[in-house]
Structure 1
Amino acid sequence: MSTFAAKDSPTNLVELSVSELSGSIKRTVETAFDHVRVRGEISGYRGQHSSGHAYFCLKDDRARIDAVIWKGTFPRIRFRPEEGMEVIATGKVTTFPGSSKYQIVIESLEPAGAGALMALLEERRRRLAAEGLFDQARKRPLPFMPHVIGVVTSPTGAVIRDILHRITDRFPVHVIVWPVKVQGEGSGEEVAAAIRGFNDLPTDGPVKRPDVLIVARGGGSVEDLWSFNDEAVVRAAADSRIPLISAVGHETDWTLIDHAADIRAPTPTGAAEMAVPVKAELDAQLASLAARLRGCASRHMEHRRQAVRALVRALPSLDQLLALPRRRFDEAAAGLGRGLERTTVVKRRSLEQATGGLRLELLANRVAERRRFIGEQILRKERCLERHMLKEHSRVSRAATALSALPARLTGHLQRERQHLTSLMRHADTAVSHALTKNRSLMGAQDRILQSLSYKNVLKRGYAVVRDAEDRPLTRAAAIGAGQALAIEWADGRVSAVAGAEAATVPPPTPATEVPRKKPKPAAVSEPPKQGSLF
């Protein structure tokens, strides 16, 4: 329908598409405004986009225009844009056909006059001070005698020569210079990187870490010193772990790094004087202190010597000091023999009481329990071995049955496996036989030990055991009464006997050596034990 209307229209205007019209407007605007300078206030600035470009607006009290700084142009901008900052932007005007908008592509940016620059400086100072970067509590004292000094400055100016000359005159130390630009584009980033670089040096690396830093520059205008008002430089100085001296400009010049530094020097030469002491003055002071120290030491030794002489006169003689210990020693030596006799009597009584509680039945019962335990262990092991052998025989039989069902092409392999299994069975039988033999030998050795402890071996040497009617062994003649029935056991048998009248005439033990004897308890079993103790 649009084509039909165009044919019927009496006008001679050329028909354009939207893209053609937008492109024509773009070329016209870019040709007419290819290089302009615009003054306005930055609005809507949020920093660089993830793409690296920066988008914001420039406005005044009646209008506004969109602005963009491309990623490649941003590093060349001398002043970083900030919200509310009045600037003068230089660039070209272009349009964006996708939304029918026009914008200025900024190629350079600068503050709108010295008044605006100072306002920006004051606003930045207040903001950083509010963060606590200028607090006195953050500042560190300078080392009294640094070994290494780091200097951040231009390597070609007169500042570095003044610093080196002053340090050499006062106290020669090792100086490391980190060359940077102190004016112009990118100088602030270089100064901040130099401060952080000195702080990142290892303490034991090939390049020694400085004990103090000096950031120095000669005098100049506000624009010349603007790099030292950069926020990155101020933050690097505040974060420095190494004490930092700021020596930027003359005595009347103040920059933001002066507030963040640990100490401000009026000039670079003054910074060198603050960093190191005067060696000649130190030598003179050391000589004076050494003389005073020698005098004090001499007087102190004389006072000590007099005090020792006075103490020596007050000390008692050697005989007086040793009289009391010598008397205590004599008394202890005199009582040593009596104490030894009393200790012997007490120990003898304790031994008799302990031996009185030993009975033959206890050892016999323990031997019998041990023999039963060993017999049970032997039976348990024999049953375990039998079950294991039956299990192995069953497993081998099942394996042989399974192997016989394999194809004929595995006959040779099965024959080798069968021979290996037969060998393993022989080895198992041999191991079981050896284990049984070893256990029998062990049991025999233990039985021989038990037999050697049996009282019957003592009877074979001609001794006899006298027992009462309750079959308890009698160890003392005083325990036998006249007419008491006795049983005397020799190695080949027992004989019954009756105690005669002579047994009653045996004198009883004296009270000093008599051991109280508890009333014997009846035997637990009526059958006499087969083994006993040598006691």
Structure 2
Amino acid sequence: MSEMIPTDSKSNVAEYTVSEVSGALKRTVEDAFGHVRVRGEISGYRGPHSSGHAYFALKDDRAKLEAVVWKMTMSRLKFRPEEGMEVIATGKLTTYPGSSKYQIVIDNLEPAGAGALMALLEERKKRLAGEGLFDQDRKKRLPFMPLTIGVITSPTGAVIRDILHRIADRFPLHVLVWPVRVQGETAAAEVTNAVEGFNALPAGGAIPRPDIVIVARGGGSLEDLWGFNDEALARAVAASTIPIISAVGHETDWTLVDMVADVRAPTPTGAAEFAVPVKAELESTLAGLSARLKACMRRSLDRRRETLKATARMLPSPDQLLALPRRRFDEATSRLGRGLEVGTERKRAQLGALRLQPQLLSRRIADARKLVDRDLARAQAALRGRVGEQRRNFARLSGRLRHEPIERRQRLLRESLALLARRHGQAMALKLERLRNRVDQTERLLATLSHQGILERGFALVSDLDGNLVTRAAELSSGTALTLRFADGTAGAVATSGEARPRPRTSAKAPKPGGQGTLF
């Protein structure tokens, strides 16, 4: 006790300050309860304060005890405290002079037996199962040949070495490791962030997005694996778009992560075996399939080759196929020369029979003019008849339509007659123009075909005394009298050399005008 404060009071009772009383009580409580184990239910837990300390209370059915867990102790706890959990707290009692309260400063916190944790676990399991997070139809299939595998585990344990070694033995590929704590207060939050972080990676980004994620941890007690029973972590795994393999603990250990994951592996090594196939086995399988494919192709080619040979034996040879066309071609070739000669002679005889004379063309032009004059006379007669008929119709209609204005009917008839006259005039003009064009074309053809134009260019027609044209010098003999026709008249001449030969005659009958010969 501190020294008493003198007082002028007549009482002999000692007086103390509030601080003295609070300090005395604090020392008394700490000396009497320096190390205690308290069993109770957590109440008022809201998680760590911003300073890292946690404040809550332990209670039973009759009393309540304030509790505090300092920041350094929180990081060493094996599991995270939760509201309503029954725990056993180890620490010392002390007082808090600022509020005249006593509290327990907890050094260690553990569940009050496995039954409490199991009860809490069963309650979470029922709630998540009711939401359908454990259903098989929502679980995703693992890709057969992943390119990148993400692993969420501790970077310092044996688990990551086993996984990497197993993947390297089976099928070496790219592995991304997201280091996390797998035990303690922050384990669940770190694993949750890792799962969400892998899902947030963009496809084709600088960091490749994993095709499979493995959540792994070694074995341990229920308290050691309690972080993987976190509800937030279970929901993050269920919401993952990347297939997740859970490998938490040994084969007999079960957590909520195992139930919501797409595939549960009994061990971390088993997870690596689920994730990748054996490269040697794939190569062996491919080699076997390749050998079978080559054998099948050889057998198929052999069968097709035999079928082709059998079909080829049934087909005729090229000589047999071309024998008949070749014979026809040879026969046509042999007839071609003779047919050409015969056709030429026929065309020559047909041309010789044609006599293009100016008198003939002039007669045709005169006939065409007569036809034009006849059509013109007929058109004029038809016009006069049509006009007379219209006049008679007009007179008849005038008698019938006495009540109509005569002037209007006369005007309409005059307009009709004028229209007919214009149409007749146009028709006659068109007809005459067409006939005139035909006459002009005939005159141009006459000028083109007439020999008079050729004579104007200095040529002459040679004929004998009988009027037959002489076209070859071989047809003349010395002393033969000839007649030379020039553009402006005729003159006589005598051949001074040459030998008279008979005019060649063809035995082939000239084809009819307009007919066509054949080469065969």
Normalising to structure 1: TM-score of the pair? Answer: 0.50
Partner of 1:93: 93
Partner of 1:110: 110
Partner of 2:80: 80
Cα deviation code 1:264-290 (max 9, x no counterpart): 011222212211123344345445655
Q: How far 1:132 moved relative to its partner?
A: 3.9
1:510 to 2:510 alignment: no
CA contact (8 A) 2:67 2:105 kept: yes
Aligned mates of 2:145, 2:163 — CA distance in 1: 16
| AA matched with 2:128 | L
Partner of 1:379: none
Partner of 1:30: 30
- Structure 1 residues 130 and 80: CA distance shift in structure 2, 3 A: farther
| AA matched with 2:251 | E
| AA matched with 1:205 | G
- Structure 1 residues 125 and 92: CA distance shift in structure 2, 3 A: same
- Structure 1 residues 238 and 64: CA distance shift in structure 2, 3 A: same
Aligned mates of 1:236, 1:49 — CA distance in 2: 24
| AA matched with 2:25 | I
Q: How far 1:23 moved relative to its partner?
A: 4.0
Partner of 1:439: none
CA contact (8 A) 2:77 2:184 kept: no
Q: How far 1:19 moved relative to its partner?
A: 4.8
**1:295-444, aligned counterparts within 5 Å?**
295=296
- Structure 1 residues 68 and 137: CA distance shift in structure 2, 3 A: farther
Cα deviation code 1:76-125 (max 9, x no counterpart): 44322222211111233233445433222334321112333333333333
Partner of 1:370: none
Aligned mates of 2:184, 2:115 — CA distance in 1: 20
- Structure 1 residues 154 and 70: CA distance shift in structure 2, 3 A: closer
Deviation >6 Å, runs of 4+: 291-294, 296-302
CA contact (8 A) 1:215 1:246 kept: yes
CA contact (8 A) 1:154 1:179 kept: yes
Partner of 2:21: 21
**SS of aligned partner of 1:91:** strand
CA contact (8 A) 1:38 1:88 kept: yes
- Structure 1 residues 164 and 110: CA distance shift in structure 2, 3 A: same
Q: How far 1:263 moved relative to its partner?
A: 0.4
Partner of 1:388: none
CA contact (8 A) 1:217 1:248 kept: yes
Aligned mates of 1:143, 1:207 — CA distance in 2: 19
Cα deviation code 1:476-512 (max 9, x no counterpart): xx99xxxxxxxxxxxxxxxxxxxxxxxx9xx755176
- Structure 1 residues 62 and 171: CA distance shift in structure 2, 3 A: same
Q: How far 1:256 moved relative to its partner?
A: 1.9
Partner of 2:226: 226
Aligned mates of 2:224, 2:98 — CA distance in 1: 43
How many residues get paired? 313
CA contact (8 A) 2:217 2:248 kept: yes
**SS of aligned partner of 2:108:** strand
Partner of 2:246: 246
CA contact (8 A) 2:57 2:65 kept: yes
Partner of 1:451: none
- Structure 1 residues 232 and 284: CA distance shift in structure 2, 3 A: same
Partner of 2:353: none
1:261 to 2:257 alignment: no
| AA matched with 2:140 | R
Q: How far 1:144 moved relative to its partner?
A: 1.1
| AA matched with 1:136 | Q
Aligned mates of 1:165, 1:78 — CA distance in 2: 29
Aligned mates of 1:263, 1:243 — CA distance in 2: 8
Q: How far 1:250 moved relative to its partner?
A: 2.2
Partner of 1:275: 275
CA contact (8 A) 1:29 1:94 kept: yes
Cα deviation code 1:20-67 (max 9, x no counterpart): 433432343234334432111123334456776544321223322122
| AA matched with 2:150 | G
- Structure 1 residues 130 and 76: CA distance shift in structure 2, 3 A: farther
- Structure 1 residues 276 and 76: CA distance shift in structure 2, 3 A: same
Aligned mates of 2:19, 2:268 — CA distance in 1: 63
- Structure 1 residues 236 and 108: CA distance shift in structure 2, 3 A: farther
Partner of 2:126: 126
**SS of aligned partner of 1:82:** coil
Q: How far 1:243 moved relative to its partner?
A: 0.9
**SS of aligned partner of 1:510:** helix
- Structure 1 residues 51 and 210: CA distance shift in structure 2, 3 A: same
Q: How far 1:212 moved relative to its partner?
A: 0.6
1:209 to 2:209 alignment: yes
Aligned mates of 1:32, 1:90 — CA distance in 2: 15
CA contact (8 A) 1:78 1:186 kept: no
- Structure 1 residues 165 and 90: CA distance shift in structure 2, 3 A: same
**SS of aligned partner of 1:258:** helix
Partner of 1:42: 42
**SS of aligned partner of 2:424:** coil
CA contact (8 A) 2:180 2:190 kept: yes
- Structure 1 residues 69 and 223: CA distance shift in structure 2, 3 A: closer
Aligned mates of 2:129, 2:53 — CA distance in 1: 30
| AA matched with 1:197 | G
Partner of 1:169: 169
| AA matched with 1:243 | P
| AA matched with 2:61 | D
Aligned mates of 2:422, 2:234 — CA distance in 1: 112
CA contact (8 A) 2:79 2:183 kept: no
Q: How far 1:171 moved relative to its partner?
A: 2.2
Partner of 1:380: none
Q: How far 1:252 moved relative to its partner?
A: 1.7
| AA matched with 2:112 | A
Q: How far 1:201 moved relative to its partner?
A: 3.0
- Structure 1 residues 68 and 133: CA distance shift in structure 2, 3 A: farther
- Structure 1 residues 131 and 91: CA distance shift in structure 2, 3 A: farther
- Structure 1 residues 508 and 146: CA distance shift in structure 2, 3 A: closer
Partner of 1:235: 235
CA contact (8 A) 1:39 1:86 kept: yes
- Structure 1 residues 132 and 64: CA distance shift in structure 2, 3 A: same
Partner of 2:518: none
Q: How far 1:249 moved relative to its partner?
A: 2.3
**SS of aligned partner of 1:199:** helix
Partner of 2:317: none
Q: How far 1:221 moved relative to its partner?
A: 2.9
Q: How far 1:205 moved relative to its partner?
A: 3.2
**SS of aligned partner of 1:259:** helix
RMSD, aligned α-carbons = 4.0
Normalising to structure 2: TM-score of the pair? Answer: 0.51
| AA matched with 2:424 | T
